[in-house]
């Protein structure tokens, strides 16, 4: 008797097998989480289970208090407060870790305690998660620390010129690289001012450029004139002529910071620059002012208060996310800033990486 072999099963599911496997893993993970939560909820009905995970409960509360009271952490010992504030958003990563451990320990008390750091973190940084940008803008500005050791400044210049920015601020310039930037940017930016290691390239006329002394001369401070002859300038002020009127622009590169076992978070050089630049901005009568540069600090760092108390951050007002800029290979902090007074940021974003160790940043501003 002839038997017809069964036909191969058919399927109408167009998804590849890899997608099925990934979907199964996600479904399994969600099921595991739901099961863990149900076990914790059931355990919460027994009084003795609230004693579980006491260490996790304490850690969750301490994390929440750190986020809420970070401004109260003293700077007297190694600038600990400023160091914490420089990396403050990353403390949120401890929340999912503690959550997993609380579910594993079936600790209702730890789960309840985790509400404190969650609410604290969202109150601090939740506003940065959404896209606050909108169309418009009278002026397109950009900034980058181009790195004194940049292996290909010509490529960096071409990439930045391609952005189409009206004003382009560069810091950490070397004499050799400056020649390259001037040559590569000449066609797109007919106006420029370079003073020491900072410069501004512009499609609009510039006038009244002057250096701003933000350097810590250390032991040579008593002989500052002699020291100043050898020290490169790190900040400038200039005026841009726009269709809406004059705009004052500062370009700055404040002193570097270091974390060492002996000194902790060393910020002496930067602090000198913050004070000098803050005084210059406070005394500036210009109603419309923009600061572009590498401040070697985040807007959350209290030590930048002399500057950030007077200006608004374009990223905070009109950005999308945290906008981390350094290091370019794995950005962890935003130390490059666009800060404004008298103009409104419409959008702020991070430009694609160049051959520098910092990412370039940009913003559109309107009157």
Q: Which DSSP string do the residues of 150-197 spell out, in sequence order?
A: -S-HHHHHHHHHHTT-SEEEEES--HHHHHHHHHHHTTT--EEEEETT
Residues 191 and 178: beta-carbon distance below 8 Å: no
- Cα separation, 248 vs 240, in Å, equals 6
- Cα separation, 25 vs 28, in Å, equals 5
Question: 290 is written with which tokens?
Answer: 């923009």
pLDDT tens across 12-48, in order? 555 555 566 666 666 766 676 666 566 655 555 555 6
pLDDT of 223 = 54
Residues 6+ apart with CB under 8 A from 355: 147, 150, 151, 152, 153, 155, 156
* Number of separate helices (H) and strands (E) present in the chain: 12, 14
User: Taking the C-alpha atoms of 348, 352, 355 and 359 in order, what is their torsion angle to the nearest 10 degrees?
Assistant: 30
Ranges of residues in the chain with a pLDDT under 70 are: 1-26, 28-30, 32-48, 50, 217-231
DSSP state of 52: T
> 0.95 exceeded by the pTM?
no
Residues 6+ apart with CB under 8 A from 242: 138, 139, 204
The CA-based angle 347-351-355, given to 5 degrees, is: 160
pLDDT of 91 = 98
pLDDT tens across 325-357, in order? 999 999 999 999 999 999 999 999 999 999 999
Residues 322 and 312: beta-carbon distance below 8 Å: no
pLDDT tens across 74-100, in order? 998 899 999 999 999 999 999 999 999
Which domains are present in the chain? 19-129 (no CATH), 139-366 (3.60.10.10)
Residues 270 and 302: beta-carbon distance below 8 Å: no
């Amino acid at each position: 008797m002839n038997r017809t072999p069964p036909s191969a099963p058919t399927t109408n599911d167009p998804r590849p097998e890899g997608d099925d496997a990934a979907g199964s893993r996600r479904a399994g993970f969600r099921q595991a989480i739901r099961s863990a939560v149900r076990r914790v909820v059931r355990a919460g009905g027994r009084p003795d289970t609230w004693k579980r995970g006491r260490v996790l409960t304490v850690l969750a509360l301490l994390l929440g208090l750190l986020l809420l009271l970070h401004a109260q952490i003293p700077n007297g010992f190694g600038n600990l407060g400023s160091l914490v504030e420089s990396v403050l958003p990353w403390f949120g990563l401890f929340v999912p870790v503690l959550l997993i451990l609380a579910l594993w320990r079936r600790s209702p008390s730890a789960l309840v305690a985790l509400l404190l750091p969650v609410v604290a973190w969202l109150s601090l940084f939740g506003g940065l998660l959404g896209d606050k940008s909108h169309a418009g803008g009278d002026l397109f500005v950009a900034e980058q620390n181009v790195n004194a050791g940049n292996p290909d400044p010509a490529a960096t210049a071409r990439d930045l010129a391609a952005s189409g920015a009206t004003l382009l601020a560069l810091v950490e310039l070397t004499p050799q690289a400056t020649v390259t930037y001037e040559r590569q940017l000449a066609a797109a930016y007919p106006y420029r001012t370079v003073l020491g290691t900072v410069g501004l390239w512009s499609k609009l006329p510039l006038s009244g450029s002057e250096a701003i002394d933000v350097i810590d001369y250390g032991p040579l401070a008593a002989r500052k004139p002699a020291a100043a002859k050898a020290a490169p300038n790190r900040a400038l002020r200039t005026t841009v002529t726009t269709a809406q009127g004059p705009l004052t622009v500062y370009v700055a590169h404040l002193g570097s910071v270091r974390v060492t076992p002996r000194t902790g978070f060393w910020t002496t050089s930067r602090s000198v620059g913050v004070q000098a630049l803050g005084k210059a901005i406070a005394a500036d009568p210009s109603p419309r002012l923009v600061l572009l540069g590498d401040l070697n600090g985040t807007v959350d760092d209290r030590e930048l208060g002399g500057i950030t108390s007077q200006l608004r951050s374009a990223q905070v007002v009109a950005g999308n996310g945290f906008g981390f800029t350094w290091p370019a290979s794995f950005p962890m902090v935003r130390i490059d800033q666009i800060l404004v007074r008298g103009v409104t940021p419409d959008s702020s974003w991070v430009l694609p990486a160049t051959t520098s160790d910092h990412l370039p940043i940009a913003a559109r501003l309107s009157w």
